Structure 1
Amino acid sequence: MDSKKLDLVFSALSDATRRGILANLALGERTVHELTAAFDISQPAVSRHLRVLDSAGLVKREKRGRETFVTAATETAAEAAHWLAHYVDFWTAHFDQMDAILTKQKERPDDR
């Protein structure tokens, strides 16, 4: 995932309402009307949030008749999770090393 795309994803995820929309979409496809009712915000506000999520590649919108249906785009989220996984592994290894050092220090008799 390139840096600009990653910036869009994390920027989109920085908002609690957008994270809530994604959590709602994890349960399945929703209409914009259903999302508006679920979040007790105006339809234009939901549409603005959806535009941000769409630009980041986190949702897909499809117009069917008078309704717009929204689904989560799992591919982009999976790519971002893969990017994060590298750093989780990195920090886990470093914390494990730090834990080993601290355990050794606790086991040594006090030199005072």
Structure 2
Amino acid sequence: MNRLGRAAARALLLTLIPACAAAQPVRSTLSDPVDSVMQMSAASLMPTLRGRWLYADDGSRVGQVREVRVSEAGNTLVAIVARRRWLGGGDIAIPVPTLRQDGATLTVSGSTRTIRALPPR
């Protein structure tokens, strides 16, 4: 290839490189549904909530908190609770903002009927 041919090939490559770079999606951790701030919040709540018993408004024991994680939508934290067998069993996800601490007791608003109706996780 002569000098003119190499120069033309370089010019062609230089025009194609920005087009290829523009075709790549730009990913930022801030644009992901689950960003690092939410994950850090979930991790900071784990020692406080994991292993605690959760009670309904009527005083019945709902289940034990297994973990805290970010919801699938990425907009709130949820407590994963191992629901007691007589309430239907299985794990359920309860949004952390709906939990209340009354003294040493962790409660969630709702009756055993509403908690039984929650779909398993």
Same fold (TM over 0.5): no
Structure with the largest fraction of strand? 2
Q: Higher helix proportion, which one?
A: 1
> Bigger radius of gyration, 1 or 2?
2
Q: Higher RCO, 1 or 2 (CA under 8 Å, sep at least 6)? A: 1
